[in-house]
Amino acid sequence: MFASWLTFALLLGTFCAGPSHGEVDTRECLFYNVNYEIEKTNQSGVERCEGEKDKRSHCYASWRNNSGTIELVKKGCWLDDFNCYDRQECVATEENPQVFFCCCEGNFCNERFTHLPEVNGPMIKAPPPTPTLLSVLVYSLLPVTMLSMALLLAFWMYRHRKPPYGHVDVNEEPGLVPPPSPLVGLKPLQLLEIKARGRFGCVWKAQMMNEYVAVKIFPIQDKQSWTNERDVFLTPGMKHENLLRYIAAEKRGTNLEMELWLISEFHERGSLTDYLKGNVISWIELCHIAETMACGLAYLHEDVPRYKGEGPKPAIAHRDFKSKNVMLRTDLTAIIGDFGLAVRFEPGKPPGDTHGQVGTRRYMAPEVLEGAINFQRDAFLRIDMYAMGLVLWELVSRCKAADGPVDEYMLPFEEEIGQHPSLEDLQEVVVHKKMRPVFKDCWLKHPGLEAMCETIEECWDHDAEARLSAGCVEERISQIRRLTSPPTSDCLVSMVTSVTNVDLPPKESSI
């Protein structure tokens, strides 16, 4: 710790090159973490930026200025933030913050950092003071004093060091309703490895007693997202087998170094995106994943009356529904998570922040892309249904039931506009040309997949009011599965007379 303190004192921000023009690809950043012992990371090194394909990556640095001494706090990769666009130099512009922060674009652009406050008028420099006997004594004794203080600080930190295990305090925040969890008091928790990185932070696999859990860590800048996701989890009636199980929320650290932890159940298979990248799926597996996913979203969208002392549960719109936010149990049951952007529609209460263009760009509905949203409950639920249509297409694209080759996994619209589409690209393709991901001919020759494609088309309909509800999708998939269920695992078509001749359930008018 003493060595780290001396390192902070030697790091000074310097000026970088002039501004850039256009998007700069950022793949690697210098990494530093003053809390590396607590957070179980390296102290310094190089971090590879592995954000989502359609989002930009940046580098960042944060530091303190204690009377002219620079104390580095953190360096690393920073996910898509318009404040960092087209900046090749890492420059903090706030007047006098407790912790300085800057971000930039370009490999290792956070190697140098500086502070240039935005001031309105010239700065007047005072004339340099004439050296006096007192100042000479001060400058002579300063190194000895600083060394003594550093030793005292190191001794104090050694005596008050934190153990390698954290704790979970489910009743930490006054006035917060305790979550529906079997936790009582404090339990030890240890971070093991990072499993994913997202818009609002990273997700760790951790161990709590004899149970593996997922710990989503938000920086203090994203407190609103942490608070919103925690509040959604604490909404009455949010216990459901197809929704992520919440365990606890916790604050770590103090002031601007505070981190916000959200603890939930852990699923070793990870997200649906990760699973489809490495695996093809059978028809039975496709039906099971799709049906349980639709069941979870239908429950999320539903107004549930008071039940067993809990509730009533309001309708909730997810607003960032995508395959990356769908987890899989070991039996491939779908679990919906990541409610940081979710909105609750409680009778008599405003829904909160309903800013239109949120979520992941690739999964945005046409009305979101063109900024023509009707800010009502049903409109937000229909936006989720458009995204569900795209996720169902991802499932079908990796199904081996059709008589033909299974292509490598691709995101929706990746074939049409690539891995990093701009907002303008999507507006042109989705809104103006009304294009959707393509159905292969061999899919339409399989009776079950053909019926699934018909359902997908009604989910991503350009007319939002014509889209199916999640409950209707669940019912349709259930019916398709029953009609195509073979007596053995892979003897599918022989039992089916013709799925396409069956009347599918009608659309619901609930959304």
Per-residue model confidence (pLDDT) at position 131: 59
Q: Are residues 261 and 279 in the same domain?
A: no
Residue 299: pLDDT over 70: yes
| Location of structure tokens 């013709």 | 498
Dig out the tokens for 380 from the structure. Answer: 């937000």
| String of DSSP letters for 410-437 | --TTHHHH-SS--HHHHIIIIIIS---P
Q: Are residues 78 and 217 in the same domain?
A: no
Residue 319 banded pLDDT, cuts 50, 70, 90: very high
pLDDT digits (tens, 9 = 90+) for 399-420: 999 988 999 999 999 999 998 8
Examine residue 417 and state whether it is found in any structural domain, yes or no.
yes
Q: Taking Cα atoms as reference points, which of 74, 109, 115 lies closest to residue 92?
A: 115
What whole-number distance in Å separates Cα of residue 393 and Cα of residue 323? 10
Examine residue 133 and state whether it is found in any structural domain, yes or no.
no
Q: Taking Cα atoms as reference points, which of 54, 56, 50 lies closest to residue 28?
A: 50
Q: Are residues 89 and 232 in the same domain?
A: no
Examine residue 321 and state whether it is found in any structural domain, yes or no.
yes
Q: Are residues 253 and 306 in the same domain?
A: no
Domain end residue (candidates: 222, 240, 266): 266
Higher pLDDT, 353 or 281: 281
Q: Which domain holds residue 240?
A: 188-266
In the residue annotation, 274 being an active-site residue is answered as: no
Average pLDDT, stretch 301-310?
A: 79
Pair 450, 444: CB distance under 8 Å:
yes
pLDDT digits (tens, 9 = 90+) for 362-394: 999 999 998 877 778 899 999 999 999 999 999
Per-residue model confidence (pLDDT) at position 487: 53
Domain end residue (candidates: 236, 251, 266): 266
Q: Which of 25-29, 91-95, 470-474 has the highest mean pLDDT?
A: 470-474
Examine residue 507 and state whether it is found in any structural domain, yes or no.
no
Query: For the stretch 319-342, what's the b/e string if a residue is b when 16 or more beta carbons lie within 10 angstroms of its beta carbon?
Result: bbbbbbbbbbeeebbbbbbbbbbb
Higher pLDDT, 310 or 115: 115
Per-residue model confidence (pLDDT) at position 342: 93
Lowest pLDDT segment from 65-79, 279-293, 462-476, 478-492 = 478-492
Over the chain, what is the mean pLDDT? 81
Lowest pLDDT segment from 216-225, 282-291, 329-338, 425-434 = 216-225
Q: Are residues 238 and 282 in the same domain?
A: no
Pair 57, 79: CB distance under 8 Å:
yes
Q: Are residues 468 and 397 in the same domain?
A: yes
| Location of structure tokens 């852990």 | 266
Rg over CA atoms, the chain: 27
The residue type found at 92 is A
Higher pLDDT, 108 or 508: 108
CATH number of domain containing 338? 1.10.510.10
Helix/strand/coil percentages in the chain, nearest 5: 35, 20, 45
CATH number of domain containing 58? 2.10.60.10
Share of the chain above pLDDT 90, in %: 46
pLDDT digits (tens, 9 = 90+) for 126-179: 445 555 666 677 777 788 888 888 888 887 676 554 433 344 433 334 334 333
Examine residue 502 and state whether it is found in any structural domain, yes or no.
no
Residue 198: pLDDT over 50: yes
Examine residue 156 and state whether it is found in any structural domain, yes or no.
no
The pTM (predicted TM-score) of the whole model is 0.62
Domain count, the chain: 3
What whole-number distance in Å separates Cα of residue 387 and Cα of residue 382? 9
Domain end residue (candidates: 266, 282, 312): 266
Residue 14 banded pLDDT, cuts 50, 70, 90: very low
Residue 96 banded pLDDT, cuts 50, 70, 90: confident
CATH number of domain containing 204? 3.30.200.20
Q: Are residues 338 and 282 in the same domain?
A: yes
Q: How many CB atoms lie within 10 A of CB 129?
A: 7
Residue 187 banded pLDDT, cuts 50, 70, 90: low
Residue 10: pLDDT over 50: no
Average pLDDT, stretch 23-41?
A: 83
Per-residue model confidence (pLDDT) at position 224: 87
Strands 113-115 and 90-92, bridge-based pairing: parallel
Per-residue model confidence (pLDDT) at position 97: 78
Q: Are residues 326 and 349 in the same domain?
A: yes
Q: Are residues 99 and 200 in the same domain?
A: no
CA trace torsion 340, 343, 346, 349 (10° rounding): 100
pLDDT digits (tens, 9 = 90+) for 328-349: 999 999 999 999 899 999 887 7
Q: Are residues 326 and 423 in the same domain?
A: yes
Residue 501 banded pLDDT, cuts 50, 70, 90: very low
Per-residue model confidence (pLDDT) at position 161: 47
> Distance of CA 143 to CAs 8, 127, 134, 139, 245, Å?
15, 25, 15, 8, 54
Q: What DSSP state is assigned to residue 141?
A: H
Q: Are residues 433 and 294 in the same domain?
A: yes
Residue 504: pLDDT over 90: no
Q: Are residues 258 and 305 in the same domain?
A: no
Which of 320, 378, 384, 461 is catalytic? The answer is: 320
Average pLDDT, stretch 343-366?
A: 79
134 burial via Cβ count (<10 Å: 0-12, 13-18, 19+): exposed
Examine residue 390 and state whether it is found in any structural domain, yes or no.
yes
Examine residue 79 and state whether it is found in any structural domain, yes or no.
yes
